[in-house]
Amino acid sequence: MLMLSGSLFMLQVYDRVLPSRSVPTLVALIILVAVLYAFQGILEAVRARVLTRIGAGIEETISSRVFGCVVRLPLRTRDRGEGLQALRDLDQVSGFLSGPGPAALFDLPWMPLYVVICFLFHPWIGVAALIGALLLVSLTVLTDRLVRGPTKAMSRFSTSRSAIAQSSTRNAEVLAAMGMGERLASRWSRANADFREAQERASDLTSGLGAVSRILRMMLQSMVLALGAYLVIHQQATPGIIIASSILTSRALAPIELVIAHWKGFLNARQSWRRLDDLFAALPALESGMELPAPTGELSVESISVVAPGDRRLVVQDVEFSLRAGSGVGVIGPSGSGKSSLARALVGVWPVMRGKVRLDGAALEQWPARSLGRHIGYLPQDVELFAGTVGQNIARFDDDAVPATIIAAARAAGVHEMILRLPEGYRTEIGESGAALSAGQRQRVALARALFGDPFLVVLDEPNSNLDAAGDQALKQAIEGIKARGGIVIVVAHRPSALAALDHLLVLGGGRQQAFGPKSEIARQALQPAAVPLHAVGTAG
């Protein structure tokens, strides 16, 4: 309602002050309109602050949920670039809500009131304002239809462009060593060109239609001014109506112009919200579950079958075995036989399609995620460390970790002395992905991380792929230490040295279990014709 202040002020000046030549009336009107403008400014500032806090509040409310989906999404789909899209969507939604776009949408419902007041000035002025409003509304609908396609394409090309850039960053050494930089740059340039073309199309449409709406509003304002003058000439309106109706018509149509100007941002925010909604539906929030006693007795694998994320083909089928506390098994077989897939299923990284993995009789999904993580140690085939100190990585970034437990894990992995030789020991910053460490050092620090807190089940996937003789010896001692304290260790390996401290072997072939039993017995079977090749077991006995 305060938006009417300017129109009513002009109406009173022309119809009251000028005919009466009353300075006190003019002063009173100035004081009144100044107070009204002050209130309007305060309310607009408050609305802007409220919108900013609404955007921040929504981001604060769902940011943890979005990050959880970012972490879980690569475990459900092959496309790892989609996860980062969720973070961009969150920024898009909160950024739009914090900007001037919603304010234009809030002003839009008041447009009929302004048109009605124009009718009160004179029916013809109301008709002119109504025709202008209908034209601008039509432009808004046209903007939505024309901009929607380029906006979706822009989002799709942005994801593709980011995925190429991220993969190139991760493999910078390979690109530099093998001269692939220019070819990857060419791929990125093509993706960037597609993105830029879609962006230009959306911007051109939005700016073009926005310009049309502004020109139309200015033209309509002038036409209303001319119409008011015509009515005054024929003594059907007062002189104040000429200016007041022109200002009021402009005020009535301004929200539509603002909506068109911010329509691309609105579409982006709406699409982002829909993608977040779909993401939350695909990845429901994890239930906390009930705390269970720490496992101490047995690992039971009950005829499990595993499917890779984003695929329907079974990579592991009908694997079944059990291990008692204090025992260990080596998983062997040719490349592509499903060893790493089995390892991921055993620690709950990949879901089990059929069967169950149980710790002391409780299936993995019955455990709360946080408490299950305390009982599991996992060293993946592709070791990834996080930016931070060596101590933080070993402690799994637990701020409450006691230094003694960090050192105990490092000693169990045989890496304590190596860490002490680093520039700042356990406080040494290792950089993104552990870039400050060698491949062997990263693998040994990751082994210490897997052993942190003395987990009951420890799964090691190719733990000695980057180790020297000293590292192999430390690995053997770590495996023996796990068994000695009553834990269970599972080692996926090609090199025989990793199997020396184990007492069972599991042989996989084509994703199926070929044999399981004591190491000496399985190794003896490996010597038989048409059995597992000798190099797959080596001198494991």
**Can you tell me the mean pLDDT for 300-326?**
87
pLDDT in tens, 391-426: 999 998 888 889 999 999 999 988 899 999 988 999
Using the CB atoms, write b or e for 252-277: b if 16+ within 10 Å. Answer: bbbbbbbbbbbbbbbbbbbbbbebbe
Mean pLDDT of the chain: 82
pLDDT of the residue at 538 = 42
Domain boundaries, the chain: 2-282, 298-527
Residue 83's pLDDT band (cuts 50, 70, 90): low
Residue 288 has pLDDT above 70, yes or no: no
Q: Which contiguous run of DSSP H or E holds residue 10?
A: helix 5-12
Residue 31 has pLDDT above 90, yes or no: yes
pLDDT in tens, 151-202: 778 877 877 777 777 777 766 766 777 777 777 788 888 888 888 888 888 8
- What single string gives the DSSP state of each residue in 243-305? HHHHHHHHHHHHHHHHHHHTHHHHHHHHHHHHHHHHHHHHSPPPP-----PPP-SEEEEEEEE
Do the first three CATH levels of 2-282 and 298-527 match, i.e. the same topology? no
pLDDT of the residue at 45 = 87
Looking at the structure, give the CATH architecture of the domain made up of residues 298-527: 3-Layer(aba) Sandwich (3.40)
pLDDT in tens, 341-360: 899 889 888 888 889 999 98
Topology given in CATH for the domain delimited by 2-282: ABC transporter transmembrane region fold (1.20.1560)
